[in-house]
Amino acid sequence: MDSTEQSNTINQMTNFIVQEAQEKATDIRDKAKQEINIENEKTITAAREKIRNEYKNKKDQYEIQKRIEKSAKQNKLRIKKMAERNKYVEESIELAKEAILKKFQEDRNGYKKFLEESIIQVLPSHSAHLNY
């Protein structure tokens, strides 16, 4: 082999090695891009899931807070109604006391009769509970 052939053979071998190296470098870059894309997709998916969970938790907390507020409002209304009823009952009792007092002050015999009838009504129910 003369020096030209040797030079050509060396050039061919060099070109082959360079081409193989370039192909390997391209394969490595492609695999790296794929791995980066996969990692990016995993990161994006994880971030989306985290956002969904945070949104769901905030939505649940909001709904719970609304139910608590609704319940508190209903309880406040119930208490207000009970206070009004209690006030009405107290006023009715007071009016009844005044009317009874007025009636018994006018009619002493009526008071005596009222006491006798009340005792007669109460005795049967109380005597059933007494153990002789």
pLDDT single digits (tens) 68-122: 999 999 999 999 999 999 999 999 999 988 888 888 788 777 777 887 888 887 7
Read off the amino acid at residue 89: V
The amino acid at 10: I
Residue owning tokens 């989306």: 48
If you search the block for the tokens 């006018």, which residue do you land on? 106
pTM over 0.75: no
How far apart CA 77 and CA 8 sit, in angstroms, is: 102
Coil/strand/helix, residue 58: helix
Chain CA centroid to CA 119, Å: 58
